[in-house]
């Protein structure tokens, strides 16, 4: 089961690279913020349709959730604007490895301290080595 979930995550990551590739030209045509809005507009419409047909009808109210849980709504556009502005300049591969290195670093901290009510997973040598390899890859790609 875990292998299947890892494959799904890899496919999702591949989709983010495609999204980054599409955002650059779209941002050049309509402007970075309009490109971001269009991505979120299409995503919101698709999510609405999925909710309409697949979401449980008795789920708790969106508005009753702690505000911290809604911060992702702020972080998402920052991420997409970053992709839109940076990708055309440094390329998809360098953008993605940079974002991935940042995600892994922050994820290690979140896991280590158990922030956001996640299960605590201490940083160990293997995880640090994996992060170092990503940073080395980032340095190699930046020099290419």
- Residue-wise DSSP of 64-82: GS-GGGGTHHHHHHHHHHH
In a domain, residue 62? The reply is: no
CB 95, CB 87: distance < 8 Å: yes
Residue 87, domain member (yes or no): yes
Range of the domain at 126: 2-57+67-143
Answer yes or no: is 9 within a domain.
yes
The HSE-up count of residue 4 (CA atoms within 13 Å, CB side) is 1
List phi, psi (to 5°) of 75: -70, -35
**Each residue of 97-121: pLDDT tens digit?**
999 999 999 999 999 999 988 999 9
28-43 tens-digit pLDDT: 999 999 999 999 999 9
By the 8 A CB rule, do 47 and 67 touch? no
Query: Is 114 within a domain?
Result: yes
Number of domains the chain is built from: 1
In contact, 84 and 25? CB cutoff 8 Å: no
């Amino acid at each position: 089961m875990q292998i299947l979930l890892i494959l799904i995550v890899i496919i999702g990551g591949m989709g983010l690279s495609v999204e980054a590739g599409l955002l650059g030209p779209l941002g050049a045509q309509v402007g970075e913020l309009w490109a971001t809005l269009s991505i979120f507009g299409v995503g919101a419409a698709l999510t609405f349709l999925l909710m309409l047909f697949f979401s449980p009808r008795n789920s708790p109210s969106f508005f009753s959730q702690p505000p911290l849980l809604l911060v992702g709504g702020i972080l998402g556009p920052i991420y997409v604007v970053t992709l839109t502005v940076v990708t055309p300049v440094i390329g998809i591969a360098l953008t993605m490895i940079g974002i991935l290195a940042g995600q892994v670093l922050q994820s290690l901290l979140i896991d280590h301290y158990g922030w956001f009510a996640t299960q605590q997973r201490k940083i160990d040598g293997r995880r640090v080595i994996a992060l170092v390899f990503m940073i080395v890859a980032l340095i190699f790609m930046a020099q290419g």
